[in-house]
A and B are shown apart, each in its own frame.
Chain A
């Protein structure tokens, strides 16, 4: 399978740190301005598929459940209702998948990372810090 062979071929060769700087920032200035405002519209901001009461993707749903469990008040933006937003946020964050979670204006990760941080207790620490 090509996905597996790509991973095995490449994982040993590229220094992990280098990939951070490989981002091609292709967001338009208008979208960058808009997204700068969106990611800091609340202490916690989620770009997801569907809305918190009706998520349309299992990964987005998992994120809303974790945030609900922690009683977090957050802003959610539905990328399925706006195809331009969907692409713009991927470019802005340089992250290929949805959902994407921002805390205090900083990108913290997608579903896997939030679930992992929830398990390790890192998430609750971060939420406590922001009040």
Chain B
């Protein structure tokens, strides 16, 4: 099988910025740079990643921020992962 790994894959657990117990894995930010994203829209890229993480999103992952780049876009960017905005308390049901 021809498995093309992403060029960059970075996952940040941002749960500590939120009102959740210590050690929680609820709020994440992922950054992916992959050739797979060539000629795809942002929505398609996000849907792709959401689908891969479908099980996680249904079992406790509450927030998922996504940054998805093609290698060319990544080269042109500042090549840094962003930080999520501050929590405003709506995490709890």
Q: Which residues of A line the B interface, CB within 8 A? A: 1-4, 6-8, 10-17, 19-20, 22, 49-50, 55-62, 80, 83, 94-97, 107-113, 116-117
Which chain B residues lie closer than 8 Å to A94 at the CB level?
Answer: 47
Taking a contact as CB atoms closer than 8 A, the residue among B44, B47, B53, B86 that contacts A7 in the complex is: B53
Q: B79 in the interface, Cβ–Cβ < 8 Å?
A: no
Contact of A11 among B25, B36, B86, B93 (CB under 8 A): B36
Give the docked Cα–Cα distance between A96 and B50 (Å): 7
B11 with A11: CB separation less than 8 A: no
A57 and B91 form a contact (CB under 8 A) = yes
Given A1-B11, A107-B43, A113-B46, CB of A11 within 8 Å of CB of B30: no
CB-based contact A20/B28 at 8 Å: no
Q: From A56, which residue of chain B is reached at the shortest CB distance? A: B90
Q: Are B85 and A12 in touch, CB under 8 angstroms?
A: no
In the bound complex, how far is the Cα of B49 from the Cα of A22, in angstroms? 13
- Least CB distance from A107 to B in Å reads 7
Q: Are A4 and B90 in contact (CB under 8 A)?
A: no
Q: Of residues B1, B11, B36, B47, which shows the largest number of chain A Cβ atoms within 10 Å of its Cβ?
A: B47
Closest Cβ neighbor of A10 among chain B residues: B52
CA distance A16 to B37 in the complex (A): 7
Given contacts A11-B6, A112-B67, contact A62 B85 (CB under 8 A): yes
Contacts of A97 in B (CB 8 A): 50, 57, 63-64
